[in-house]
Amino acid sequence: MQTTQTQKAYPALARVLHCQKRMGVLVSGGCDSEVLLRAAADVLGNANTVAFNAVTPFIAKYYTDIVETTAEELNIKLTQVTLELKDLTTSRVRCCYRCKKAIYSTVKAAAEKQNIAVLADGTNLDDTAEYRPGLRAAEELNILHPFIISRMTKADIRELGNLLNMKNPNRPSDSCLATRIPEHTPVTAETLSVIDRIEQPLRPHVKGRLRARVSKAQITLEYQTVDKELVAARERELRTITNNSRHNLTLHENG
């Protein structure tokens, strides 16, 4: 049997994946879950790997597009489930846990209809050092974390992404759009849409962290120095978007 790239470079991960035979992978459009999807297809084959993607107002369309493109490239079946805002939360208090619980529950039900018993996500060792309420939801619903089991960090994942021909394994990490809204502030579809529209022109090109933080009628666009020229080149466009949404824009360089 031919040795795959994953088996050569990360045998511990390959062993975890081999044990599953057939597996569903929760993909968000981020680097970690995409690398896991590619690794699963590499080890198990694309016929035994199914991608699951939750489409919610919290996730920028940019990432949904990445998921669809990746699944098509790998010739992997993609199942998308849609969750409405009212099903998740109306404020950021306990938002992460409730959102993840809703996503995992809905996706798990969709997977069971396809006789897929194992669902995995891209959580890795570095994630365990942070406070992530969503991890409790994953534990409650028995979501597998192959990267944690095989002791892989974000740096390992980026390296594996390169080996598996991922187009941009070094794109900056991101979080859901609700993280741009202050706690105890109502989360509305309109506010999430404004955030997405502000970040959209920059997101495919940025090299560092990008956040459009909303507070009442004010939007503060936080970016890193590496993207200073990009932001300057798009400033007029960004101000037009904020003016149309009745917000004031402040640019904040984080270094």
Q: C-alpha distances in angstroms, 63 versus 8, 22, 55, 175, 244? A: 29, 25, 10, 11, 24
Q: Exposed, middle or buried: residue 24 (CB in 10 Å: 0-12, 13-18, 19+)? A: buried
| Whole-number Å distance between alpha carbons of 65 and 70 | 9
| Whole-number Å distance between alpha carbons of 123 and 33 | 8
Q: Give per-residue burial for 68-77: e unless 16+ CB within 10 Å, then b.
A: bebbeebebe
Lowest mean pLDDT among 7-16, 30-39, 91-100, 111-120: 91-100
The more confident residue out of 129 and 60 is 60
pLDDT given at position 149: 97
Lowest mean pLDDT among 95-99, 112-116, 117-121, 196-200: 95-99
Lowest mean pLDDT among 76-80, 136-140, 186-190, 203-207: 186-190
Element containing residue 206 per DSSP (H, E)? none
Tell me the domains of the chain and their CATH numbers: 5-163 (3.40.50.620), 188-253 (3.30.70)
pLDDT given at position 94: 62
For residue 36, give the DSSP letter. Answer: H
46-100: pLDDT as tens digits: 999 999 999 998 899 999 999 999 999 999 999 999 987 665 555 555 677 888 8
pLDDT given at position 128: 86
Residue 135 has pLDDT above 60, yes or no: yes
pLDDT given at position 185: 80
223: left (phi over 0), alpha (psi -120 to 50) or beta: beta
pLDDT average, residue stretch 177-190:
85
Residue 141 · residue 171 · CB < 8 Å:
no
Residue 138 · residue 145 · CB < 8 Å:
yes
pLDDT given at position 1: 52
Q: Report residue 217's pLDDT band, with 50, 70 and 90 as the boundaries.
A: confident
Phi, psi of 227 (to 5 degrees): -105, 15
Residue 150 has pLDDT above 80, yes or no: yes
Neighbouring CB atoms inside 10 A of 162's CB total 13
pLDDT average, residue stretch 172-195:
87
pLDDT average, residue stretch 156-185:
88
Element containing residue 135 per DSSP (H, E)? helix 134-140
| Whole-number Å distance between alpha carbons of 109 and 218 | 40
The more confident residue out of 128 and 94 is 128
pLDDT average, residue stretch 196-213:
94
| Whole-number Å distance between alpha carbons of 180 and 192 | 9
Residue 105 has pLDDT above 60, yes or no: yes
Residue 250 has pLDDT above 80, yes or no: yes
